[in-house]
Structure 1
Amino acid sequence: MSPDPAALQDLIDREAIRQLITTYCNAADRHDHVKMRSLYHEDAIDEHGHMSKGPAMDFIDKLPEIQAPMEILHHNVTTINIALDGDRAEGEVYLIALHRVKGADGPFDVLVGGRYFDKYERRDGRWKFAHRAIVADWANIHSPSIVDLEHPFLHGAYIGKPGPEDPSYAFFGLLGRGA
């Protein structure tokens, strides 16, 4: 029995969109603005609460300032619902994101559970974001921070960092860090 070409294309498209979603998480967490820019179409919209509502490229231009006080960003996607329609698609993506932020009184943690409302388009054979909006369903704030990377349990482990100082840049050769 030969595979159904339409079903095969559906799987290929869904996997490309899942890869787009997870690459976004990596770009955000590593503060990789070049990679982030490559994930959106030039005319895409991004709605990120008070941080940005408008052109995605304007949001990405602001990211160095937005992320400057963020010592840790850790995005995790869970449930991914995708609807395909030719070269267009929509997705509702559940996420849990930890932010450890430098504050005036010391670091604090913001753990957010929410969803991304996404619209994707395939142009020139490549799926990218056409519109992304963040939806917050819950948040847990810890001030002061409860993150403890000095705990003896972690001794000897790699410790993640924003940017190219993250150990993944030296460890991986195939994942395209910094690309």
Structure 2
Amino acid sequence: MSEDPDLGMLLAHHRVRACVVGLARGEDRRDGESVRAAFWPDATVDFGIFAGSFDEYFAWVVPGSPAVLVTQHLLGQTHIEPAGDALLAETHVVAYHRVDMGTEERDTVLGGRYLDRFEQRDGQWRIAERTMLYDWFRDDGVSVDWSQGVMGTPFSDDRFTGKAAGDHSEAFFAAGDLATRK
């Protein structure tokens, strides 16, 4: 960390939170580069329904199950504590998943917490170990088809639907200049 412990902790907190946010965004978009950037190659994960090495997790998440059509991870607070040379972080998450059940699509939502052990190597903080805790789960039933619009009003353009890969936010950020955005 830094010579000033308060400043060092503030910077570490910022970098840990940025890592968690980048990972959630990468998972929602099935963006392998963003997912890989959040973990050390020797990391381990345990989601209760899946446990393994980073490589096994990566193969599970990217490109993701074809049955999981859309995801959205909303992150809550992140509590961070130093633990020797590591940082321990707990981040609350609410995650939406649209799942193709074969005969119908269903919307599910879960609430839980990521327990992450971060290690700093070569000046970077990344996840060395992740465990998922589940606090609640809700099955909202058969999905509504909102692909053509919402609340009875059609979309003016196909860029407004959120998709697991190739959504409009990629073009939004790639443009870089407000004058060129549509």
Is the TM value for this pair above 0.5? yes
**Moved beyond 6 Å, runs of 4+:** none
Shift of 1:159: 1.7
**Which range is displaced more, 150-159 or 115-124?**
150-159
Distance 2:111 2:119 in 1: 26
Aligned CA distance change for structure 1 residues 147 and 21 (closer, same or farther; 3 Å): farther
Written as runs of structure 1 = structure 2, the 5 A alignment for 1:108-147 is 108-146=106-144
Contact 2:68-2:97 within 8 A present in 1 as well: yes
Q: Which residue of 2 aligns with 1:105?
A: 103
- TM-superposed deviation, 1:53: 0.8
Counterpart position of 1:171? 172
Aligned-residue offset at 1:155: 2.6
1:162 aligns with 2:164: yes
Aligned residue type for 1:168: S
Aligned to 1:17: 16
Secondary structure, in 3 states, of the residue corresponding to 1:105? coil
Change (3 A) 1:131 1:139: same
Q: How many percent of aligned residue pairs carry the same amino acid? A: 25
How many residues are treated as equivalent by the alignment?
Answer: 169
Gaps of 5+ in 2: 177-182
Structure 1: which 5+ residue stretches go unaligned? 175-179
CA distance in 2, matches of 1:93, 1:83: 12
Q: How does 1:16-165 map to 2 (within 5 A)?
A: 16-50=15-49, 52-64=50-62, 66-85=64-83, 87-146=85-144, 148-149=146-147, 150-151=149-150, 152=152, 155-156=155-156, 158-163=160-165, 165=166
In structure 1, what is the Cα distance between the partners aligned to 2:62 and 2:123? 30
> What is the identity, as a one-letter code, of the residue corresponding to 1:158?
F
